[in-house]
Structure 1
Amino acid sequence: MTTTQQIAATQTVKPAKAQTPLSGLLSLVLDIGLPLGTYYLLKNAFGVDVITALIVSGLLPAARTIWTTVRAGKPDQFALAVLMLTIVSIPITLLTGSPTFMLAKEGLGTAALGIYVGVMALRNQPVMTKAFKPFIANSAKKAAAWDEFMVTSPAFRTLLVRANLVWAIGFVVEVTLRLVIVFTLPFDTAVWATNFPLFAAIVGCSVVQRRWLVPVARMVNVAAGEK
């Protein structure tokens, strides 16, 4: 239910602080578990209508995206785009009276992100390097080597371009699976089932990207004099 908002929050984290497994788990709880629990609590325990429950639960990760952006100290274009999508979708949902649209609209942001990442990668501008760099170039020497390779090494950039394409394809597949779930399963089932494509995309892309990011890490480590 919060795919693009979770990606936006991830993209605005300060590069100097790599995520630990515990912080990653906490992020999943905040971005997926909390909104999902809020939806069912409002709907089943308090009898709130479906549309209102969806809107309220969707505002929680939106608020976290705002907080993450403020904490980063500068506006993030993708995070702002996600917030705009959320803001625009609420009145449309209220006017149409369609909770299915509210559930499916997350796919719009993810699809746009996938297309953007793919187009920029094909233009030799791998935009997701900001997400990769903190985990690979986690020291001053490694960061300097990374920056040098970005300027001087076409082979280095090619590896990053291909890793970006993995995520671009993953985002598009995630959207496709999400829409299939939204429009084929009962609504109450779709509310929680739409999170499975997100998990599949994250796990799948994280595994496949290693084919290109492992050589990237090796180049950085050698240049920095580290193993």
Structure 2
Amino acid sequence: MTTTQQIAATQTPTTAAQGQGALGRVLPLILDIALPLGSYYLLKNAFGLDAIPALVISGLVPAARTIWTTLRAGKPDQFALAVLVLTLVSIPITLLTGSPTFMLAKDGVGTATLGVYVGVMALRRQPVMTSAFKPFIANSAGKSAAWDDFSVNSTAFRDLLVRVNMVWAIGFVLEVAARLLIVFTLPFDTAVWATNIPLFAMIVGCSAVQRRWLVPVARMVNAAAGEK
């Protein structure tokens, strides 16, 4: 599953973005979580596949969607591509080790790496997750210009974005701890679906906490652009 696509799907939209249908915001979650999960249980229970091939095949669903989304956008999403590479690399490792548990745990490795990277870059005052927030706030030419100007010339604006990035960095690391606890303590077939619980909790929690700093960001951008 592509974590950043799920994050983007749950970001707090501005007034203009609220006109988007609920289906458009939920669809990425369905494709990245529900479809692979349903595919796994269908392949394993209805077709009698072993756990490893069922996991591998179901994991290709979000991988294919990442490739399609990147090609359609015409430019790569560095976070989504990182998750894609991790998924593709983990498949031969899983087949060689014969450990389906590794296939579940590997998502935690990628998320942990992402969390550390986001946190380190935030501490260096280079908020790398800006691309996930900007489209929902700077959704017009005037707002985009204001955002770009603030990013260069406003210390207060950059401070807000750094704090938002730190929220997600901490969330990623906590999600990993919960995921690994589930993977190594619960029965495997239960862990397959239960590992999604920390992900949902992290996305919902971080989306709520980030409002403390994203709302002022939106106000600054709207005021500078002369829009509401």
Look up the equivalent residue of 1:174 and give its one-letter code: E
Q: Percent identity?
A: 77
Aligned to 1:23: 24
The residue number in structure 2 matching 1:14 is none
Distance apart, 1:58 and its partner CA: 0.4
CA apart distance, 1:96: 1.0
Measured in 1, the distance between the counterparts of 2:21 and 2:153 equals 31
User: For 1:124, what is the secondary structure of its paired residue?
Assistant: coil
| Residue 190 of structure 1: aligned partner | 191
1:101 aligned to 2:98? Answer: no
Distance in 2 (CA, whole Å) between partners of 1:163 and 1:76 is: 19
2:56 is the alignment partner of 1:55: yes
In 2, Cα distance between equivalents of 1:10 and 1:63: 18
Conserved? CA contact 1:9–1:64, under 8 Å: no
What is the correspondence of 1:140-179 to structure 2 with a 5 Å cutoff? 140-179=141-180
Segments of 5+ residues of structure 1 without an aligned counterpart are: 12-16
Per-residue Cα deviation, 1:172-214 (whole angstroms, up to 9, x for no partner): 1111100000000010100000001111011000000011111
Shift of 1:10: 6.3
Say whether the 8 Å CA contact 2:112–2:176 is kept in structure 1. Answer: yes
Distance 2:69 2:110 in 1: 18
1:9 deviates by 7.3
Structure 1 distance, partners of 2:35, 2:85, is: 21
AA in 2 matched with 1:79 = A
Could you tell me which amino acid in structure 2 is paired with residue 104 of structure 1? A
Residue correspondence of structure 1 range 212-223 to structure 2 within 5 A: 212-223=213-224
Distance across 1 between alignment mates of 2:70 and 2:227: 33
Q: Does 2:129 align with 1:134?
A: no
- TM-score with structure 2 length normalisation? 0.92
Alignment-derived partner of residue 37 in structure 1: 38
Is the counterpart of residue 91 in structure 1 residue 83 in structure 2? no
How many matched pairs?
Answer: 219
Match among 2, 7, 28 for residue 4 of structure 2: 7
Contact 2:3 2:80 in 1 (8 A): no
CA distance in 2, matches of 1:53, 1:10: 26
The alpha carbon displacement at 1:67 in A equals 0.5
> Aligned-pair RMSD on alpha carbons?
1.6
Q: Distance in 1 between matches of 2:224 and 2:23?
A: 31
For residues 128-160 of structure 1, give each alpha carbon's deviation from its aligned partner in whole angstroms, at most 9, with x where no partner exists.
111111111111111111111011100000000
State the match for 1:70 in structure 2. 71
Contact 1:9 1:69 in 2 (8 A): no
Alignment partners' CA distance in 2, 1:74 and 1:140: 20
Q: Rate the CA distance shift 1:202–1:195 in 2: closer, same or farther, 3 A.
A: same
SS at match of 2:24: helix
Asked if the contact 2:7–2:203 (Cα under 8 Å) also holds between the matched residues in 1, the reply is no
Q: Deviations over 1:24-83 (max 9, x none)?
A: 211111110000000000000110000000000001100001111111102333333222
The alignment partner of 2:76 has SS state of: coil
Cα distance between partner residues in 2 of 1:167 and 1:218? 21
Letter in 2 for 1:75: P
Could you tell me how far apart the structure 2 residues matched to 1:199 and 1:182 are?
16
